[in-house]
Amino acid sequence: MSPNIHTYDVYSESIIKCAKLCSEQDLCCVASFAELTSICRIDKSENCSLATFSDTGWNIMRKQLYIPPSCTECFSYASSTYKVIEDTLNWEMARDNCYDLGGKLVEMETQDENDFIKSTLTVRNANITGNKIYYLGGFKFKPDEDIRWVSTPSQEMAFVDMAPGEPNNPNSELCLGAINYYDFQWIDLPCAWLNPYICEFF
């Protein structure tokens, strides 16, 4: 992936610091990080709808792409609109609040959608220290089955992005979350924990 007139390259120690560089600049809508070379490519086009392309070895992070007028602080990808809610609730209350807003806890059904959500959370939490978990719409309905999406409890997940060693407590941790410690890969966790969450709308 070659630079162009809308980008410039800087050295960055990590993808988190690259995301922070982008978040601190008003003109930056897209940042790309190459782990092999530690290059952080900053887009300065001031166009959050700019088409970007991924390439081997690069992680792409985008700021919010589109804000629908009917949903404050929402962002869109493909046919879905999302809202990150930082107020902390237990999983059941978070699920119910998403329902009340007309949506559901987010269900990442493809690699592309998951990468988009992860990059959004990475940019959003560039200055966060310590562990932070966002509830997702996964739940373990039966002891002998894996965690499944709430909207399709009879189907296995077509795509999963579990963190190393997860799920690690299948009998007591029945809910699904994305944790910053593992670049927002998924973990199982107790449903009673109070966490922020992500709603998805269609």
The string of pLDDT tens digits covering residues 106-161 is: 999 999 999 999 999 999 998 888 899 999 999 999 888 899 999 999 899 999 99
pLDDT at res. 51:
43
pLDDT band at 79 (very low <50, low <70, confident <90, very high): confident
Q: Quote the tokens at residue 86.
A: 């930082």
Bond prior to 167 in cis (omega within 30° of 0): yes
Share of the chain above pLDDT 90, in %: 50
The string of pLDDT tens digits covering residues 11-30 is: 888 887 887 777 767 667 77
State mean pLDDT over 78-88. 93
Half-sphere exposure for 119 (CA within 13 Å, toward CB): 24
- List 32's β-bridge partners, or say none: 41, 60
Distance CA 177, CA 43 (A): 30
pTM for the structure as a whole: 0.68
Domains of the chain with bracketed CATH: 7-62 (no CATH), 74-201 (3.10.100.10)
pLDDT at res. 127:
87
Distances (CA, A) of 82 to 142, 147, 162, 201: 28, 22, 21, 6
